[in-house]
Structure 1
């Protein structure tokens, strides 16, 4: 393997959503270098952190039927039985909610927790409370996506946090999405909630670190361990 190939394989790609911020950072480095070397180095540190924040690593996702993977990278902050988001046209019945909190140091590219057809996408403006709080599910700015699966309705909700000021998604109603596919991003610091049919066996615990697109949160229908994978 050549040196160039080794370097390429060791670098983590940056998502294109981060390009404008990186360009601003580079411009800041050039501009501040004229004024102060110290400030220019601070701009270098900030720009490197921006590249790190918008990293878009490849993941190996289990694709067995019924598997639910983490849509976010971070800490499993809550597991609870709650009603689904009111903005989605889902039955007003209790569902299992698994929440994953992303700090500003976690990968913020979001991936589909399950395979299914997107029935509805509902954006709700709101506040910017700490995303680690339970009430953030109802009061914060969020983007909810309802998915139709063979096991019943599943929802994934992107929730803005204290310093998050932009929620992005790259899917549309009617689209079919496969488990592990990239579907959105939140900047900077936030949370994702996954709503599953009540009684779904959970495979994680509160406090556990989840890897986006890889960690199995639950198994719809109680299916056995996944044996097929994809890398994307």
Structure 2
């Protein structure tokens, strides 16, 4: 396991906060309120360990396949439905949405190999990530990857806690399946819009792993 580069600053700030709070607690409280000093230590240590865990990038045996769409994120499948895409395709698509809790790995991966033909950031609201309107009203970053068997749109969507979406791709870039697309901080959602003839390989409420679970098969 490694720590994602997006976490270096957050972990450093949390570590400094942990040190300052506990030094002050030990100096001013330990003699009279030893129990409170230990409570503060446990709570702040829990926060530090949570922040470190949030930015973890575990080593995985990645799944690859030319006709496969691999899950771009860890989490739980919360939507499998046919939708009309207003943003790019202007027609109907199959949408599969993955909800990422703060406990999930938050690195996002490219679901297919291909060329980036669309990349657009949208300002928006911070509705809870499972809200039906979060796909179109929340802050989000949309990317379309052109694959020989169809174009795939991936939306990184901010949630109630997520305040920063990071996307590393650019239009014209060639990307490889399961390589890094970006990162979303502190709880969020990822939508994948597929061609209507794609076969969805996941089920509602299924827990999936980014770079590992097969989301769909392209016809």
TM-score between both structures, scaled by the size of structure 2: 0.91
Q: Which has the larger radius of gyration?
A: 2
1:112-138 CA distances to partner (integer Å, 9 max, x unpaired)? 111110011110000000111211111
Pairing partner for 2:191 from 190, 193, 202? 193
Q: Report the CA distance between 1:24 and its aligned residue.
A: 0.7
In 1, distance between residues paired with 2:64 and 2:198? 17
Q: Over aligned residues, Cα RMSD in angstroms?
A: 1.1
1:59 aligns with 2:60: yes
Q: Report the CA distance between 1:85 and its aligned residue.
A: 4.7
In 2, distance between residues paired with 1:64 and 1:71? 14
1:171-206 CA distances to partner (integer Å, 9 max, x unpaired)? 211111111111101111000000111121111110
Runs of 5+ unmatched residues, structure 2: 26-36
Q: For residue 17 of structure 1, what is the aligned residue in structure 2?
A: 6
In 2, distance between residues paired with 1:26 and 1:160? 26
Runs of 5+ unmatched residues, structure 1: 1-11, 222-232
- Written as runs of structure 1 = structure 2, the 5 A alignment for 1:152-191 is 152-191=150-189
Spell out structure 1 runs of 4+ moving beyond 3 A.
Answer: none
Q: For residue 82 of structure 1, what is the aligned residue in structure 2?
A: 83
User: Across the two proteins, how many residue pairs are aligned to each other?
Assistant: 207
In 1, distance between residues paired with 2:107 and 2:206? 19
TM-score between both structures, scaled by the size of structure 1: 0.86
- Written as runs of structure 1 = structure 2, the 5 A alignment for 1:35-114 is 35-36=24-25, 37=37, 38-86=39-87, 88=88, 90=89, 92-114=90-112
2:56 aligned counterpart, secondary structure: coil
2:57 aligned counterpart, secondary structure: coil
Q: Report the CA distance between 1:69 and its aligned residue.
A: 0.7
Q: For residue 34 of structure 1, what is the aligned residue in structure 2?
A: 23
2:3 aligned counterpart, secondary structure: coil
1:139 aligns with 2:137: yes
